[in-house]
Amino acid sequence: MVTKGSAEIVSIDIGTEEYALYRDLTRNHDSNKIIGKGEAASISLAKKHNGILGSNNLRDVKPYVEEFSLEHMTTGDILVEAFKA
C-alpha cells in the first residue's frame, strides 16, 4: 500500500459488477458462507479495482481472499508497513 503510493475512497453503485458481488456475498453466496456488509463491500471493491483487502476478520474473509486471489492486509500488516516507511 505504501509503496504503491495511494489510497482511494470509492463507492459501490447499484447495477455494477461490484454491487452484484456485494449482494451475492451478503445474501446467497454458493461456495462459502454469507458475510457482513463491511467485509463484502471491501472484497467486492478490492476484486473490481485490483486493490488490497484490509480486514482483521480472517475467519470470514480468508475463503474469499483465496477464491478471488486478493491481496490481503491486517491492521498489524499496515502498521508494520507504516513503521518501515
**Grid coordinates of 67:** 477464491
Question: Measured on CA atoms in the order 63, 53, 24, 61, is the torsion positive or negative?
Answer: positive
C-alpha cell at 66: 483465496
pLDDT at 14 over 90: yes
What's the CA gap between 17 and 15, in Å, rounded? 7
Question: Rounded to whole angstroms, how far apart are CA atoms 70 and 40?
Answer: 13
Domain layout of the chain by residue ranges:
17-84
Cell numbers that stand for 36 in this block: 457482513
**pTM for the full model?**
0.82
What is the tens place of the pLDDT at every residue in 32-59? 778 999 999 999 999 998 989 999 999 8
pLDDT digits 0-9 by tens, 53-72: 999 999 889 999 999 999 99
